[in-house]
Structure 1
């Protein structure tokens, strides 16, 4: 048995995991993404566009799509700026010059040669055309005296044949180095069979057997090993289209020279005829390829026909990657990104970044952070809203603790009735244990670890839950937030939403006995769920209807007669509209005295209900300052004029202060953040 195990271990092989996402990859941290997406949603973006924006920007430690796209563009510029397209013509000219020079040396050395013949040969060499194609054509019938010169001249025809084939079949140029007549005959046979297969496919008469027979005879020319004729077509058409784009990018003179030279490839026009026939088939079968594009190539490195075609394929890959990274087409997802092309063009590090972004997008869609609403649009889920609210609340708590010279303060033995809620024990807690929850956690943990049920229960720190206590009276809270267009115009829109979400998170997580109502007021007012208010778009709508908002707040207070009413009003303008008895909205600016009067009357009603009132005045408008100061004095309320970035801390602090009068103990930022 031991020997068998050793044999098995020797046969084991390890390699990169390629079948889908890496199962051992660490989980993606969604908190930064959700915070950024939430910020954009609160600023008026859709959840879909906010997610796209984060994926484009990336995070603190995560490369985004924009950076990958920049590297793609830089790679493209590098290719176009480095190369020029007459490499093959230059190589032919160099071979031609070497052949002529060797022949001149031979003529000078040959003392037995007739002087008339020598003079005629030298005159023919002296008067060769400047065009390489014309010179090669003229020298086809020249009686070479130098064996070296003849070999150099024959290399021109061999080079042309290999370059033309390398344009259509990648890597064949090296394979055909020093090819003999047998090799050339095998190539001609492959091209005949290939054109027959393509022609049959174009007529719809090809069969799987015909393709299999073709690959059995000529598979060595296709190292990518296509599995069917469609894959063969894709590979051939992409390279042929790149060759055509390279030709389109040449000057008219370069094209003319190459056309004249091409007929002499391998010493006959047969190769060019077969390739022209193949190109016709490919154009017909793959019209969607880019056969008409061109590039400006003016670098210093000359490209041969085969290498140039490879560069143009690289450019096509880079263009495709740029489109995929832009994510601008309908239904685009990062899973559409071609990682093989990305690896070829930018390397393995870029693939790692892309895979992380793919997992991030996939997790955002699949882990409950985003969902489709009734209209089919992507939206933040309540789970995502809670997580975003916690992050905002944590930032607010740190701000408040810092201003107070805050340190870790916990309630020691907080008195009060049990709230019915439990939470995980933390260092410093003195609340009573919830024994049932603690034991259940221990049993569940042991069962998950594969342990059986025994007479003893082993309890670990993570199992312990404590009972929360109500160290306060119940509060009935109304947060009135100004949603007029001036809030957005003056940069107060997002801070207002952050404040709303922070207070909602605090109340629903730490003060569950309190009842919070969110009321937005512009030209008219409405009670809004937190999701609606956070996703609210700014509208150009005149009017600040504080009267309507106070009506809704007082209705909320009357529904909770045994709770302490807490009224908080966030606004940057005086009341300019009110509700008429028939329900219509009246608007006037400057504020109509009637609007002011009935707003004051409704605020008096809040005071009679016992509401503790706080105004949060945004901006430096003198009229607004006079109005809110007078209103606050009238009902014994307070006015806070925070900087816009401090609005959340101001509202949270005011809420806690309002509750503190009825609490059995003082609460700090550390208490409600635990």
Structure 2
């Protein structure tokens, strides 16, 4: 009989959750839309979203902050700044001298040389490597570059023997011979120790002759081996951390520093002997940092390369260069530096950017700029309408109608009752529903779910002109975004529930203009003086006349009295305080709307007493209304007034 398998379940702890959704597309478009409503371009809004991140996914700013924190810790804790700055100064000196020399030459080779210098990697280690085979035209540049090679070579050799850096500087032939003799005697001593011979006397003789090379003053052969093995292992870890080209370069520097290939051979023999005698040392590592302890030159070389990688990764995350894309980010390097979760976050951001385009939420305009698509605008409209729906539903007498035709007679059909319906109940269907439910075991006599109402063949058709003030005061006083959200909500309501209605969006500042929803949403605030209500009412009247069979509705959102009007030649005239011609032109256009039997409502923002007095007189003249909502209630007031006029 097969044994039953037993399973246990617990929280996943193997890294980033593999089942976690990469992003919330609806939240992303809401965030982008909020920034666009506030005046940002869609491209700026997308970049801001990627910088801030989404949900639990870190953005580029947070990844960059952690990257530079790692860089600061690397420099501060491991004392890297001195050597790094010296190498950079020498490199800058070499490149400056070379560029000056090339600028004085009028030849194709000189121009090609300049291109080579411009294409160098941004990190010092990469630039030094690229310049290895460069044909220098400046003697000073070549000398500075050779100083870099000499500096790195001497300091890396200093890992093996304390004081070697000084011994190799301006070394004479006698100095080189002394180093060669020391290495030969050292290798013989260690070979004898490896054969398990008693090396006490030989060790004493060695230290008497060569002790000045060993400031640690070891007392036995084993202590000498311990000191040398630790340094040799550190040198090996440094070599392991470098590329093949860099290892070849360091080998050449070693031969150049010693000035004798036989010395390099003696060092290789010494390394092999030490690895045999101390196999427990870390010979396979690649440089480890040890907090506040000063770093050896092998680890410093590793840190120099690491800093170059961090700088390169920082440029990728900054996305500040032309043609930048999240696909440019080296995810393997990011994971090495900041961990697996950073890779997951960066990949999710790239997928989010790609998905926004593939889903048609962002599209290219004719001029190549990025803009919100109609699909994205509908999504923003849904959000805006949902935010004000509860406010509208709570207003007495301002519920939307569901009548569906022009005649106002019963169509013979019924439907379930929904909150806000004003149609009469269909009693037979309601009672039948109750009986069927009770037959199923529900003891209640009547429930709201049983109610059905009569469908009627009536739907009022309206022509609506929403005129919104776009003068600078709307931006300055924080009324810009509420105005746009109001237009979004009204547009969404009409386009989804009252498709027979026709909405015109009209903006007015120094002059007025009929705009599409995308234009209004993406409109940036500009310093414009003038509130040309006359021009806005003129455009509203033209829209109403195109729909003579519809109920005419004009909704005006403004925060200032009219200060501009159109001259007969079509040019705007601005004056503050308003001159009589502006007032006369505005009132005259309002009278023409009154002749069309238009229902006019003024929504005034702020507490300007002159505006309140002026709009009150206008409303009395045309039989309209004045509403003074707060910013949070602007959308609800406009939508509720529209629904009231439809009935």
TM-score (norm 2): 0.63
Q: Is the 8 A contact 1:265 1:272 kept in 2?
A: no
Residue 594 of structure 2 corresponds to residue 629 of structure 1: no
- Going from structure 1 to structure 2, the CA distance change for 1:94 and 1:238 (only over 3 Å counts) comes to closer
- Going from structure 1 to structure 2, the CA distance change for 1:546 and 1:78 (only over 3 Å counts) comes to same
* Residue 155 of structure 1, CA deviation: 6.4
Residue 63 of structure 2 corresponds to residue 68 of structure 1: yes
User: 1:146-157 maps to which residues of 2 (within 5 A)?
Assistant: 148-149=220-221, 152-153=223-224
Question: For 1:77, which of 57, 65, 72 is the aligned residue?
Answer: 72
Residue 454 of structure 2 corresponds to residue 473 of structure 1: no
Q: Is the 8 A contact 1:160 1:262 kept in 2?
A: no
Question: For 1:563, which of 550, 561, 570 is the aligned residue?
Answer: 550
- Matched with 2:374 is 382
Q: Is the 8 A contact 1:157 1:266 kept in 2?
A: no
User: 1:480-499 maps to which residues of 2 (within 5 A)?
Assistant: 480-499=467-486
Q: Is the 8 A contact 2:566 2:572 kept in 1?
A: yes
* Residue 359 of structure 1, CA deviation: 1.1
How large is the Cα RMSD of the aligned pairs?
4.5
- Matched with 2:504 is 517
- Matched with 1:301 is 293
1:477 is paired with a residue whose SS is strand
Cα distance in 2, alignment partners of residues 622 and 43 from structure 1: 28
- Going from structure 1 to structure 2, the CA distance change for 1:76 and 1:400 (only over 3 Å counts) comes to farther
1:268 is paired with a residue whose SS is helix
* Residue 61 of structure 1, CA deviation: 3.2
Cα distance in 1, alignment partners of residues 294 and 158 from structure 2: 9
Q: Is the 8 A contact 1:84 1:299 kept in 2?
A: no
1:528-560 CA-partner distances (Å, limit 9, x unpaired): 111111111222222111111111111111111
Residue 361 of structure 2 corresponds to residue 366 of structure 1: no
2:58 is paired with a residue whose SS is coil
- Matched with 1:588 is 575
Q: Is the 8 A contact 1:160 1:265 kept in 2?
A: no
1:509 is paired with a residue whose SS is helix
Cα distance in 2, alignment partners of residues 170 and 390 from structure 1: 55
Q: Is the 8 A contact 1:476 1:566 kept in 2?
A: yes
Q: Is the 8 A contact 2:159 2:235 kept in 1?
A: no
- Matched with 2:40 is 45
- Going from structure 1 to structure 2, the CA distance change for 1:473 and 1:654 (only over 3 Å counts) comes to same
Residue 16 of structure 2 corresponds to residue 29 of structure 1: no
1:23-48 CA-partner distances (Å, limit 9, x unpaired): x8747421111111112112221111
Cα distance in 1, alignment partners of residues 320 and 472 from structure 2: 31
Residue 322 of structure 2 corresponds to residue 335 of structure 1: no
1:380-412 CA-partner distances (Å, limit 9, x unpaired): 0111111111111111113434x55999x998x
* Residue 518 of structure 1, CA deviation: 0.6
Q: Is the 8 A contact 1:615 1:638 kept in 2?
A: yes
User: 1:169-568 maps to which residues of 2 (within 5 A)?
Assistant: 169-170=240-241, 235-236=243-244, 263=258, 268-269=263-264, 300-401=292-393, 404=395, 416=405, 471-568=458-555
TM-score (norm 1): 0.60
- Matched with 2:118 is none
1:32 is paired with a residue whose SS is helix
Deviates more, 1:638-647 or 1:372-381: 638-647
1:157-210 CA-partner distances (Å, limit 9, x unpaired): 666665555434439xxxxxxxxxxxxxxxxxxxxxxxxxxxxxxxxxxxxxxx
Cα distance in 2, alignment partners of residues 426 and 573 from structure 1: 46
Unpaired segments ≥5 residues, structure 2: 1-13, 81-154, 165-181, 190-197, 269-288, 409-413, 422-453
Q: Is the 8 A contact 1:80 1:299 kept in 2?
A: no
1:541 is paired with a residue whose SS is coil
Unpaired segments ≥5 residues, structure 1: 1-15, 17-21, 103-109, 172-234, 245-257, 274-296, 420-424, 432-466, 661-674
- Going from structure 1 to structure 2, the CA distance change for 1:61 and 1:124 (only over 3 Å counts) comes to closer
Q: Is the 8 A contact 1:416 1:470 kept in 2?
A: yes
* Residue 572 of structure 1, CA deviation: 1.0
Q: Is the 8 A contact 1:324 1:337 kept in 2?
A: yes
Cα distance in 2, alignment partners of residues 122 and 342 from structure 1: 49
1:272-320 CA-partner distances (Å, limit 9, x unpaired): 99xxxxxxxxxxxxxxxxxxxxxxx996223334333333333222222
* Residue 481 of structure 1, CA deviation: 0.6
**Number of aligned residue pairs:** 467
